[in-house]
Amino acid sequence: MARLSYQGVDKVFSGDAVAMRDVTLEVEDGEFMVFVGPSGSGKSTFLRVMAGLESPTGGRVLVDGVDVTEAEPQERDLAMVFQAYALYPHKTVRENLEFGLRMRGMARSRRDERVTRIARTLDIADLLDRKPGQLSGGQRQRVALGRALVREPKAFLLDEPLSNLDPALRLHARTELARLHRSLAATFLYVTHDQEEAMTLGDRVAVLRDGRVQQVGPPMELYRRPVTRFVGSFIGSPAMNLYRCRVVRSAGVRLEGPGFGVEIGEAAPPGLADQVWLGIRPHDLTRVDTRPADFVGRVELVEPRGSDLLVQLRLDDESEATLAVVLPPQPEVETGDEIAVRVSRDRLHYFDPEDDTRIE
């Protein structure tokens, strides 16, 4: 078990690519921490620096309070699982699993005992004599995980380990991982570009952009209170609607965006300048019959999602602004219908147009 710390870590590659910028973060013992962000945001580098596969250009990395910045990977006792998990093709599953233990000179009886136990946990016990070529993608995935597990490391570092699996299997593997984390009570550092995966797996989620941690917190906190416009747009599906609005003060306060105007009156946050980014989640909008409504638009697209409908409303022809709304499956909605929706004022998100930070 391990507590992992980044203290003011920078990583600049030759050629000036900045993969980590002044990263300070504590991962608690036994915590499932997810790094999520778009491609190139630094996710893999965060893990590789912790694993010792890259050395930081500044700052320190600690395991259980011990500075390991200069330590070799094998001294850190952390197991890393990559997206492209390379199993030895000519070795059986058993040989793949025990290879690391053999290299460490562990006695055969202990090795067998561990391999058997881990194989049972991962439900691959009856595959031990097969070669990787005789396994499905999901089974190979589990063997790769098993190879990390048999080492009983202090922590697991996983870099997009599920992204090679087909969607159904990915869902299953996700459940397995969560279960495994609970039963092992080990520290997990997990990288994904998939915000849904991040939300469902993480005790906490760190949202990365351009090598910086934009926000770190429990999944629902990121969803309810994104501290930047980027986090607001990245976390949550379907994505948050965002509009740059003019703040008009007359009798009350009114936000004017493309094809709409929303009175916010009392709900106006202090410190609002004359421009603001307005964010509204598609789930926070409700259809209304009475006018005036907050938004009125013509239905451009209806995506039935089983339990609900995802509807795109065209708000304004000139700017082609649209609003995504999640509506119940009844009453039916058809392309071309005119629909009015409202949003509760306490569900509005405001971001500063200067620096994209949240305005409370």
Which residues contact Mg ion by CB under 5 A?
43-44
Looking at residues 193 to 252 of the shown chain, list those that interact with ligand ADP (rule: CB under 6 A): none
Looking at residues 24 to 43 of the shown chain, list those that interact with ligand ADP (rule: CB under 6 A): 37, 39-43
Which of 238, 323, 244 lies closest to 283 in space, CA to CA? 238
Q: Please report how close the Cβ of residue 62 comes to ligand ADP at its closest, in angstroms.
A: 20
Q: Please report how close the Cβ of residue 158 comes to ligand ADP at its closest, in angstroms.
A: 12
Dig out the tokens for 262 from the structure: 């929303």
Strand, helix or coil at 342?
A: strand
Q: Please report how close the Cβ of residue 42 comes to Mg ion at its closest, in angstroms.
A: 8
| Per-position DSSP letters for 195-217, written without gaps between them | HHHHHHH-SEEEEEETTEEEEEE
Binding partner of residue 13 among Mg ion, ligand ADP, none, CB cut-off 5 to 8 Å per kind: ligand ADP
Q: Does 45 bind ligand ADP (CB under 6 A)?
A: yes
Binding partner of residue 45 among Mg ion, ligand ADP, none, CB cut-off 5 to 8 Å per kind: ligand ADP
Residue of 5, 34, 44, 93 that binds ligand ADP (CB under 6 A): 44
Count of chain residues binding ligand ADP (CB under 6 A): 12
| Per-position DSSP letters for 57-84, written without gaps between them | SEEEEEETTEE-TTS-HHHHTEEEE-SS
Binding partner of residue 15 among Mg ion, ligand ADP, none, CB cut-off 5 to 8 Å per kind: ligand ADP
Count the Cβ atoms, other than its own, within 10 Å of residue 247. Answer: 17
Q: How far apart are the first and last CA of the chain?
A: 38
Residue with smaller CB distance to ligand ADP, 19 or 205? 19
Those residues with Cβ within 8 angstroms of residue 213's Cβ, 6 or more apart along the chain or in another chain: 23, 25, 206, 207
Q: Does 276 bind ligand ADP (CB under 6 A)?
A: no
Q: Please report how close the Cβ of residue 24 comes to ligand ADP at its closest, in angstroms.
A: 18
Residue with smaller CB distance to ligand ADP, 16 or 360? 16
Residue with smaller CB distance to ligand ADP, 43 or 349? 43
Nearest residue relative to Mg ion (C-beta): 44
Q: Please report how close the Cβ of residue 209 comes to ligand ADP at its closest, in angstroms.
A: 10
Q: Is 113 exposed, middle or buried (0-12, 13-18, 19+ CB in 10 A)?
A: exposed
Sheet with 253-257: list strands edge to edge.
260-263, 253-257, 241-249, 275-280, 349-351, 358-359
Q: Does 15 bind ligand ADP (CB under 6 A)?
A: yes
Binding partner of residue 161 among Mg ion, ligand ADP, none, CB cut-off 5 to 8 Å per kind: none
The residue assigned the tokens 């090598």 is: 211
What's phi and psi for 153, nearest 5 deg? -75, 175
What's phi and psi for 131, nearest 5 deg? -95, 155
Q: Does 88 bind ligand ADP (CB under 6 A)?
A: no
Those residues with Cβ within 8 angstroms of residue 135's Cβ, 6 or more apart along the chain or in another chain: 93, 127, 143
Q: Please report how close the Cβ of residue 198 comes to ligand ADP at its closest, in angstroms.
A: 13
Q: Please report how close the Cβ of residue 159 comes to Mg ion at its closest, in angstroms.
A: 6
Question: Which range binds ligand ADP by CB under 6 A, 9-17, 65-73, 133-141, 270-278?
Answer: 9-17
Question: Which range binds ligand ADP by CB under 6 A, 12-20, 23-31, 63-71, 266-274?
Answer: 12-20
Binding partner of residue 241 among Mg ion, ligand ADP, none, CB cut-off 5 to 8 Å per kind: none
Q: Please report how close the Cβ of residue 42 comes to ligand ADP at its closest, in angstroms.
A: 4
DSSP 174: H
Q: Please report how close the Cβ of residue 213 comes to ligand ADP at its closest, in angstroms.
A: 12
What is the Cα–Cα distance from 264 to 2, expressed in whole angstroms? 48
Q: Which amino acid is at 172?
A: H
Binding partner of residue 42 among ligand ADP, Mg ion, none, CB cut-off 5 to 8 Å per kind: ligand ADP
Alpha-helix runs per DSSP H in the chain: 43-51, 73-76, 93-103, 108-121, 137-149, 167-184, 195-201, 219-224, 229-234
Q: Which residues bind ligand ADP (CB under 6 A)?
A: 13, 15, 17, 19, 37, 39-45
